[in-house]
Amino acid sequence: MEPFSEQGKPPRVAQAVCVAGERIDVTTPQDVSWRIFKILAEFVGGFELLRQVDLAVTFYGSARTKPGDPYYQSAYRLANALAQEGFSIITGGGTGIMEAANRGAFEAGGTSIGLNIRLPHEQVGNRYTTHSYEFHYFFVRKVLLTYASEAFVFYPGGFGTLDELAEILTLVQTKKVQPLPIILVGKSHWAPLVAWMRETLAPGNRFIDRADLQLLTLVDSEEEAFDMLTRSPLAPHTP
């Protein structure tokens, strides 16, 4: 027979709740309240860091990309050139493409911002940042990655990169943020995805409007991306 507490109810057992997309194990309502304060603290800290940023570009891409990889070198050169033009560079603060972009900006003497995420075994913050902030909650970090930027550059990546791309496209599509350039670097990697959008999602405006494809720009080199980002005014182009 299950034991009862003094109030005649079974003792509370740990259960999972979802707070803004994060699964949280709780035993009391107070646990949820304290988590909310932690979430607010991360938002405040991130906004305080980024409110001083003027013109910025956020880079996304795989954390697994090695320094010898052509995409690593491309991200480095693009960030380096943009930093010399006065752009701040924002990344998720980790390895791979994030490190390449931070390193490019850092070695150009520019503002290099890393918004890192605490993970048990995977993500380690890179050392090429002039400003950094570490997050526990993915969704808070994702908001801050989009907050201060005038454009978003996507290099090849996996699930995390696709998740961030889909979220930004959704925000622009639903007019939660103003249209900003979303540049996909690497045609061999991104062209099949864009083709699937065009051939499967867009016909008859069944799943997306065909005009939504204009939110993306597909390029094959950092030179093309640089030309777009330094053009005035910044504007997305049809893939």
Interval 7-65: pLDDT, tens:
554 444 445 545 445 555 555 666 777 888 889 999 999 889 898 888 999 999 999 99
Q: How many CB atoms lie within 10 A of CB 148?
A: 21
Which domains are delineated in the chain?
54-230 (3.40.50.450)
* 119-132 burial: b if 16+ Cβ within 10 Å, else e: eeeebebbebbebb
The reported pTM is: 0.82
Q: Can you name the residues that pair with 185 across neighbouring β-strands?
A: 219
Mean pLDDT of all residues belonging to the chain: 86
Residue 186: predicted pLDDT: 97
Residue 91: predicted pLDDT: 96
* Helical ranges in the chain per DSSP H: 29-50, 70-84, 97-107, 138-147, 159-173, 187-196, 222-230
Q: Check if the beta carbon of residue 70 is closer than 8 Å to that of residue 187.
A: no
Low pLDDT (below 70) residues in the chain: 1-30, 120-123, 232-239
User: Tokens at residue 236, please?
Assistant: 């997305």
